[in-house]
């Protein structure tokens, strides 16, 4: 369980994913404890697809040491808008055993879009 030395990496692959945000805290992106990789999250964008109502989003970062803290907690995303929670200038590394969890206050109103690099 060792993260790669960022100076001597063997591979860096850009990836992205999108998901409907659940109403109970669910895993959005995880780095397995034995992956031998680091995930660099470059962007996390939350989009409200509801035409009339805002919806709250919460994003939790769980690190490899078992510590959990919110990156965002019950932030309202107005109808027909998006919210940039992580951008290239505020990127986040997910070490082995770490993950991002997400939840919404309403069902099927929010979508999450993540761009990240898988580094080994």
Kindly report, residue by residue over 10-35, the tens digit of the pLDDT.
Answer: 999 999 999 999 999 999 999 999 99
How many other C-beta atoms lie within 10 A of the C-beta of residue 36?
12
Q: Which of 11, 14, 16 is nearest to 35 (CA)?
A: 11
3-class secondary structure, 40: strand
In CATH, the architecture of 13-119 is Sandwich (2.60)
CA angle 80, 45, 61 (to 5 degrees): 130
Does residue 5 carry a pLDDT above 90? Answer: no
User: Rounded to whole angstroms, how far apart are CA atoms 94 and 9?
Assistant: 16
Model confidence pLDDT, tens digit, residues 64-116:
998 999 999 999 999 999 999 999 999 999 999 999 999 999 999 999 999 99
């Amino acid at each position: 369980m060792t993260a790669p030395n960022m100076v001597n990496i063997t591979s860096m692959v850009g990836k992205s994913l999108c998901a409907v945000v659940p109403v109970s805290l669910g895993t959005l992106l995880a780095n397995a404890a034995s992956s031998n990789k680091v995930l660099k999250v470059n962007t996390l964008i939350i989009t409200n697809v509801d035409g009339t109502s805002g919806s709250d989003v919460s994003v939790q970062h769980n690190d490899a040491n078992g510590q959990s803290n919110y990156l965002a907690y019950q932030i309202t995303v107005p109808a027909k808008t998006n919210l940039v929670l992580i951008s290239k200038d505020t990127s986040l590394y997910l070490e082995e055993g770490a993950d991002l969890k997400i939840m919404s206050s309403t069902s099927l109103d929010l979508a999450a879009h993540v761009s990240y690099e898988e580094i080994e």
